[in-house]
Chain A
Amino acid sequence: MKRVVVFAAVLALLGGLVLMTEPIVPDVQKLAAFIPPSIGPYVSEADQTFDAESIFDYIDGAGEVYRSYNMKLLVARRFHKDGKPDIVVDLFDMGSPEDAFGVFTHDLDGEGAGVGQGSNYKAGLLSFWKDRYFGSVFAEEETAETKGLVLELGRRIARAIPKEGPKPKLLSYLPAEGLVADRVCYFHNHSVLNYHFFVADRDILLLEQTASAVLAPYTTVGGKSYLLVVGFPDEAKAAQAYGSFAKNYMPDAKKSGIVRTEDKRWTASAKAGDIVIVVFNADSDQFAMNQLASVQELIEAANKK
């Protein structure tokens, strides 16, 4: 009898966990339903649907950008009107709000468009994110009419997505002073890190697609500095990554964790639990060390909550 009760309790616990962590099931119909069937005088053609394997059939190797953010589904819908440039909507289910935010940060050029939780418009292209969805609306030729329709399509899609989602927790570890907040990037691998700020051909920080990282530019007296904050799955992996970075990038720092580089700037690194922090291009050793200390304080404060 006792064994049955324990078994029932375990089942109940497991059931509770299942409810607490409701699985996100990518749903083509749900995703497609966020996109209106027509816009202005344009009508849509048949949808195309892709997952993380078949995306190469749609955009070849460029699909790696979206795969690096763990994309789950893509619905592509083309809008056509005879005599007018086509408009294409690519709406991604990225599986999590963090990755929807991340893929949005891959290209931050453009002007804010007030769509979803973050958006940019440039040269006929609107990019935006909301909840776990990332949207791209593109006019094959930018005209006053297509710009208006692109923005309206984006607004209608964003309104159809019922709720907002959280940004990555790592963002809360970034000190506010000097932060160029609208240029912060979030990612999981060294190829994307190098895209934004080249560190090394090899993955010397061991990001390996299992880590999460934010790269934040800071305006300083002497120019631009970068702060990299990387969250690893556990402390052991963070220690390994910290050692790898120190060995490969700043062996001349010895154990001090800070070095003056060839361009007379400073690079400093530290580890805090399962997080590795690196300051690049600081204009003084004091600034670099202060940045590290500020991040560590923010991490400690968050851990106490």
Chain B
Amino acid sequence: MSGKMITRRDFLKVASVAPLAGAFLPALKGAAAGPAEKVKVVLVRDPNALDASGAPNAEVVQRMLDDAVCALLDERDAVKAWKTLIRPEDIVGIKTNAWGKLPTTSQVEQAVKRRVMDAGVAEDKLSVDDRGVLRNPIFQNATALINARPARTHQWSGMGSCIKNYIMFVPQPSAYHGDTCADLATIWNLPIVKGKTRLNILVMFNPLFHMIGTQQYNKDFTWEYKGLIVSRDPVAADTTGLRVLEAKRREHFKDDGLLKPTPHHIQLADTRHHLGVSDPNRIELVKLGFDEGILI
């Protein structure tokens, strides 16, 4: 424990809905412990994930994904593991992220697609899409979703997260921008996605840890982390990715590393919307691959 003091500003950051009066002093003494059950998150890294030009190495990416899914599901064989996620009769939408400056990457998309097909799904029963999901018949009729996106900072939500990746499932994304995207997790309750997500993949090949200006992307604020974070729980995956981004910011800026704006949609996805787990103490983090520069 760091012994860091909790101030009233900290208290008012923790999804408070009530005034401080009366509640303040008891709250500072510490919150009650939550349920003991942990959720599993796998962080896999490979020094050869990117080639000399910085492009993902497809063969290595496939192996990383396979290793992560096997570790996540306690299986030795990747195809067998995927068969516990996806049934042959499933209609599968692979929700990607097409932001041109830092996309999910075709290598990740193809690695997922290959294993979905290995699980028995016909090619015409799956689709990879981002901005067109609402008009895509596969996504309209999907029985299973795989959620894959890169980790990055975001000027309004704080972090481009797995949770946030589903904002394209609503016709008017700006309707979810209130309080810097605090309630993004409510999207996960919409019929088009509710209960369908089988796997979340937070791509950490070269994350963006800081943003400036309207264009938001600057290569100077990326680094080659060469990792993937994989979990059934989007909140736990994002929480882990956020820890990496903040650690990188601490290293780079020599400050507290906290993102601005605060990506409180991740914590609120847990505490307010019960989508998953945001408490690192309730996350079982399995690390695979090389350790150098792992940061967490």
Contact = CB atoms under 8 A, between A and B. Distances in A.
Contacts of B15: 201
B260 A195 contact: yes
- Which interface class (under 10, 10 to 19, 20 to 34, 35 or more) fits A? 35 or more
A245 B20 CA distance: 10
A249 interface: yes
- Scoring B12, B22, B213 by chain A CB atoms within 10 A of each residue's CB, the highest score goes to B213
Chain B interface, DSSP helix/strand/loop, else mixed: loop
30 contacts: A59-B215, A61-B154, A61-B174, A61-B181, A62-B214, A63-B174, A64-B174, A65-B155, A66-B214, A90-B213, A90-B215, A124-B220, A125-B215, A125-B218, A127-B213, A142-B220, A191-B156, A194-B180, A195-B261, A198-B262, A200-B13, A200-B16, A201-B13, A201-B14, A201-B15, A201-B16, A202-B179, A252-B24, A262-B6, A262-B28
Contacts of A7: none
Interface in B201-237: 211-216, 218-221
Q: Which 4 A-B pairs have the closest CB atoms?
A: A200-B12, A251-B21, A62-B155, A61-B156
Given A141-B219, A191-B179, A136 B12 contact: no
Contact of B218 (A123, A202, A262): A123
Given A200-B13, A247-B21, A248-B19, A191 B8 contact: no
Nearest to A126: B213
A252 B28 CA distance: 14
Contacts of A201: 12-16, 179, 182, 264
B23 to A, nearest CB: 10
A62 B154 contact: yes
A290 interface: no
Contacts of B154: 61-62
B7 interface: yes
Contact of B20 (A59, A191, A195, A251): A251
Interface of B: 5-9, 12-17, 19-22, 24, 28, 99, 154-157, 167, 173-174, 177, 179-182, 211-216, 218-221, 260-262, 264
B19 A251 contact: yes
Contacts of A249: 8, 12, 20
A142 B212 CA distance: 13
A140 B129 CA distance: 27
A188 B167 CA distance: 26
A62 B216 contact: yes
Contacts of B212: 107, 109, 122-123, 125
B124 to A, nearest CB: 31
Contacts of B211: 62
B162 to A, nearest CB: 15
Given A201-B182, A250-B20, A262-B28, 20 more contacts: A59-B215, A61-B174, A61-B177, A63-B174, A65-B156, A88-B214, A90-B215, A138-B213, A138-B215, A191-B179, A191-B261, A201-B12, A201-B179, A202-B17, A247-B19, A248-B19, A249-B20, A251-B21, A251-B22, A262-B6
Interface in A112-145: 122-125, 127, 136, 138, 140-142
